[in-house]
Amino acid sequence: MTNRRPALLAALALAACSPSAPDTSAAPATPPLAGARIGGPFTLVDQDGQQVSDRRFAGQYRIMYFGYTFCPDVCPTDMQTIGGAMKLLEASDPALAARIVPIFVTVDPTRDTPAVVKQFVTAFHPRIVGLTGSPAAIETVKKEFAIFSAKGDAAPGGGYLVNHSRQAYLMDPDGKPLALLPQDKGPQALADDIKRWAR
């Protein structure tokens, strides 16, 4: 009978000397955007025509998404994902869901009046807050949140498109950034990331 013990010991020694694979299942200790200079005070107009400031959302986590209601594809898809994630959270963790406010901020204030914004946001979830304002006010909040947007090409059937950056920020109850949410990966991925960082 062949003695396999030396070969086995050698294999165990090699395994012990090899670096172990990093544990990717554990969440980093700090959120990826912690300390980033994103966000700040703002005063805008909500979908009911009421002037609101960032202080209205103090003590709540916020999903900040920037887009426009005439967007032909990306914005409605992303908003549907955000609304879907909220429904998943309401079913799995209602206490956490109650502490989150999804906020849609238009980058096209010329066309996105409060009434237009209201019709848009209520199609995706009843708790989404839609914000618009003067062009100057929108420019200010875009700068605070590092959002790019610019009037683009003419749209089919009239009007125009708006080129804009595509991101959804998760902000903490003090209005500080925590993470970019994966709104392009579907409601479950977005809900999972919120649970990961909202504590």
CA-to-CA distance for 146 and 63, rounded, in angstroms? 15
Strands 168-171 and 61-67: antiparallel
Instruction: Determine contact, residues 40/81, Cβ cutoff 8 Å.
Output: no
Phi-psi region of 167 (alpha: psi -120 to 50; beta: other; left: phi over 0): beta
Instruction: Determine contact, residues 145/38, Cβ cutoff 8 Å.
Output: yes
Q: Which two tokens stand for residue 117?
A: 């914004």
Strand partners, 64: 103, 169
SS3 state at 58: coil
Is position 17 annotated in a ligand binding site?
A: no
Name the burial class of residue 79, with classes exposed (0-12), middle (13-18) and buried (19+) by CB atoms within 10 angstroms of its CB: buried
- In which element (H, E) is residue 149 found? strand 149-154
Binding site membership for Cu cation: which residues?
71, 75, 164
Binding site membership: which residues?
71, 75, 164
